A and B are shown apart, each in its own frame.
Chain A
Amino acid sequence: MRTNFLMLHTITRIVSFIILSFSIYLFFAGHNNPGGGFIGGLMTATALLLLYISFDIKKIKKAIPFDYSTIIAIGLLIAIVTGLNSLLFGDPFLTQYFEYYTVPVLGEIELTTALPFDLGIYLVVVAVALLSILTIAEDDS
């Protein structure tokens, strides 16, 4: 018997897209509103998990061909490099800077070094959550 997953697949596509976009919003909102690297990362992870659960792992692997252990390393590296950046200006490790800029369409925006740092955290959190779950799921011994 073949179960038809059409409904599930269609809804998952839409829902995971919504979750993903919301997670990115949360990530950027983090500095001023609830959100940030941890929360954004976890939410991205849940969205991707949803995909993994409703489709099968092999298909998604083809669509998202990342090695999550590399992403952990990349995330940590981004965070550390952001921290090291402040050493160049003679400040202690991990001092963050921010500046306001006025951009024609968007109006005044704030750029801060905390953002790349948070991006590192975001990447690590996503990768850790997915890596642990996928490793167990794939274990066939």
Chain B
Amino acid sequence: MEILMILTVGVLVSVSTYLLLTKSLLRVVLGLLLLSHAAHLLFLTLAGLKEGAPPLLGEEAASYADPLPQALILTAIVIGFGVTAFLLVLSYRTYKEHKTDDLDQLRGSADE
């Protein structure tokens, strides 16, 4: 399972990197979203999968899944949400102002 997950993470990273390198602002935003997915999955996988019960003490199991990465990932998901929302609105506003979402045309001039 871990091996399969790591391979999935690899695919996610490849695709998101490719999206980041494209010229369309929207694809860049999507790429960042995918990259955060990849990071969450990798983090969870490396902590060990399917080891013990969900981290709820009410389960009264002998061992629990590692709660620490889960807490960190939860924080990361929510922050990722905030960042993605901001980026989306940023690209929306950029498009409204400049009538383009092509990053080549959006480059600043040298004297700025």
Q: Is A33 on the interface with B (CB-CB < 8 A)?
A: yes
In the complex, which residues 85-110 of chain B have their Cβ closer than 8 Å to any Cβ of chain A?
85-86, 89, 92, 96
Q: Which of B56, B57, B58, B89 contacts A132 (CB 8 A)?
A: B89
Q: Is A34 on the interface with B (CB-CB < 8 A)?
A: yes
Q: A132-B89, A136-B89 are in contact. Are A38 and B74 (CB under 8 A)?
A: yes
Point out the residues of chain A lying under 8 angstroms from B86, CB to CB. 132
Q: Which residue of B lies closest to A32 (CB)?
A: B58
In the complex, which residues 53-103 of chain A have their Cβ closer than 8 Å to any Cβ of chain B?
none
Q: Is A125 on the interface with B (CB-CB < 8 A)?
A: yes
A-B contact count (CB 8 A): 19
Q: Is A24 on the interface with B (CB-CB < 8 A)?
A: no
Q: Mark B38-60, 1 if CB is under 8 A from A, else 0.
A: 00000000000000001011100
Q: Mark A9-47, 1 if CB is under 8 A from B, else 0.
A: 000000000000000000000001110001000000000
Write 19 A-B pairs (CB below 8 A) sorted by A numbering: A32-B56, A32-B57, A32-B58, A33-B56, A33-B58, A34-B54, A34-B56, A38-B74, A38-B78, A125-B78, A128-B82, A129-B81, A132-B85, A132-B86, A132-B89, A135-B89, A136-B89, A136-B92, A141-B96
Query: What 10 additional pairs, Cβ within 8 angstroms, besides A32-B57, A33-B58, A141-B96?
Result: A32-B56, A33-B56, A34-B54, A34-B56, A38-B74, A128-B82, A129-B81, A132-B86, A135-B89, A136-B92
- Give B residues with C-beta under 8 Å from A: 54, 56-58, 74, 78, 81-82, 85-86, 89, 92, 96
- Give A residues with C-beta under 8 Å from B: 32-34, 38, 125, 128-129, 132, 135-136, 141
